A and B are shown apart, each in its own frame.
Chain A
């Protein structure tokens, strides 16, 4: 009996001792955990609360009345004429960016790997990274001098070639191309890094053996490089699918104008306008929450699919 008690208290003591030993670690976690609670977790609960309320600035988060019915804001959005066009624009832009972006980045990585001149490789790498550091505001400014109908350089070239200019900044369809094109310009170099890292991990002996057997360059790319980086490609594809509802809010809000809403107004830009320009905070929160929840299930689902491929995010 006494032995059991003694053993128990030793067990407790050990836990206490471990806790005490790890005091420093908990101290290190503290600032981050406080930040997480206030600015990452609290907004999630606020989102749930505000989206089922008729939020009024005067009454605040806890004082505002619950909407009747509580799903009023969600219902309003689904039944509104905005819903389908917004969803269509969001998915279309996001898919096009993904389906064009991944192959381009893979191709760039393979080209860089095939390059024998270290100097050229370094220069091209640096140049293709550069746009990643530019803000969308800066790129928006660049679009003026390049794509303006009256005095844009690209339009000047197009005019010389075809005799007429393209209204890139005002025509809804051309504007969507501009959005996708400028996104590819900004991100391709940067997203190639991950593929380049994967390629550099391939055993060089594989290539040597292949060349000994008389393989051509294209054959080594097709049968060695690509199969060896398939898992990385699948992984990035999964990540992108999980965020398919993020069509690039940062970019589109900065670049668009009322004239091109029909093709590039996406869920996020609509949420921003509803919240900060029309001050309907509850509706904006509800749609934001809806998007977040769908994204969550998307990521979980694609991860399940990925597990069949033998890949997983966690």
Chain B
């Protein structure tokens, strides 16, 4: 194949558009970081437009951390992200593995049972009433148990398990291993892509948890970080005399702290993740 001039132009155009798209995605994030690092008086002097801060300070971050409830609520978010995701993965994997067995008795029934909530849901208020009646109001458990298994993620996991070579089970079964042993010692190690995938899906949901906290938790020190941040962002738009208005740089420091930890996780899981989501996507 001859590399023609038009071919090179085409490659260049494709690359240029991609660079532009990358910038559109990345630039707003960079700008927020840039504002958060600017000293407040410098921010005011530039009329709020700080593309490249001339001086850099971490003052806003220190100030955000000292805001009431921030450190508590950061801890809550870390807790529900770690404990919640672990519980999600555990229950989802157990369930999906059993459902993936072709000879499972009542298998058809269980599959339909797990599919129905994908099509019809109770809605916000009825779910709230159940959470209330199961005694979870004002406890971090309300942010974990009511979303223990996502029907959609369960389906992805099940189709992954269904695609594992049946010979793997058979050889283990001949060796006399129990079903739990087979799952944890043989299947789990080859299932890292799917575990990373669903772990990330659940984890992002927990880290960004806002509504469950808003609905189920009124105790200030038990809320999630997102709720505190939203409250702080809105305090500025209400012009009341008795509230201390947080500065823009302080708000942006809050935005960065609420976003960076979950973004940092992604590169570590990326390798597995792309593989896992593709499997999920292809199997549907």
Q: Taking the nearest CB of chain B, how far is it from the CB of A49, in angstroms?
A: 8
Contact indicator per residue, chain A 259-283, by CB within 8 Å of chain B (1) or not (0): 0000000001001100110000100
**Which chain B positions have C-beta within 8 A of A128?**
21-22, 25
Asked if B95 and A145 make an inter-chain contact with CB atoms under 8 angstroms apart, the answer reads no
B15 on the A face (CB < 8 A): yes
> Does B174 count as interface, using CB distance less than 8 angstroms?
no
Q: Is the CB of B127 within 8 A of A39?
A: yes
Inter-subunit contact A156/B49 (CB<8 Å): yes
Q: Does A224 contact B (CB under 8 A)?
A: no
B278 within 8 A of A: yes
In the complex, A95 has a CB within 8 A of chain B? no
| Chain A binder among B68-76, B188-196, B255-263 | B255-263
- Whether A120 contacts B226 in the complex (CB less than 8 A), given A47-B122, A185-B24, comes out as no
Interface of chain B, main secondary structure: helix
* In the assembled complex, B166 has its CB within 8 A of some CB on chain A: no
Mask, A173-185, CB within 8 Å of B = 1, is 0000000000001
B215 within 8 A of A: yes
How far is it, in angstroms, between the C-alpha of A150 and the C-alpha of B129 when the chains are bound? 43
Contact between A31 and B237 (Cβ–Cβ < 8 Å)?
no
Closest to B263 in A: A133
Which one of A1-9, A79-87, A136-144 contacts B?
A136-144
| B151 close to chain A: CB less than 8 A | yes
Name the CB-closest residue of B to A25: B98
Q: How far is the CA of A300 from the CA of B178 in the complex (A)?
A: 40
Which residue of A29, A35, A292 is within 8 Å of B145 (Cβ)?
A35
Q: Which residue of A lies closest to B262 (CB)?
A: A133
For A19, the chain B residues whose CB sits under 8 A away are: 105
Check if B125 sits within 8 Å of A50, measured CB to CB.
Answer: yes
Q: What are the residues of chain A within 8 A of B151 when measuring CB–CB?
A: 40
Stretch with Cβ within 8 A of A (4 or more), from B55-63, B78-86, B109-117: B109-117
**Chain B residues engaging chain A, CB cutoff 8 angstroms:** 1, 7, 10-11, 14-15, 17-19, 21-22, 24-26, 28-29, 31-32, 35, 47-49, 51, 91-92, 94-95, 97-99, 101, 103-105, 110, 113-117, 119-131, 133-134, 145-149, 151, 154, 178-180, 183, 204, 207-208, 210-211, 215, 226, 229-230, 233, 236-237, 248, 251-252, 254-255, 258-259, 262-263, 266-267, 270, 274, 277-278, 281-282, 284
7 residue pairs A–B, Cβ–Cβ below 8 Å: A26-B98, A29-B110, A35-B91, A46-B129, A136-B208, A295-B119, A300-B119
Known contacts A32-B148, A32-B154, A43-B121; can you find 20 more A-B pairs with CB under 8 A? Answer: A22-B104, A28-B97, A32-B92, A33-B110, A38-B134, A39-B130, A43-B127, A45-B122, A120-B19, A126-B270, A130-B29, A133-B259, A137-B208, A137-B230, A138-B255, A156-B48, A197-B277, A211-B1, A276-B128, A284-B123
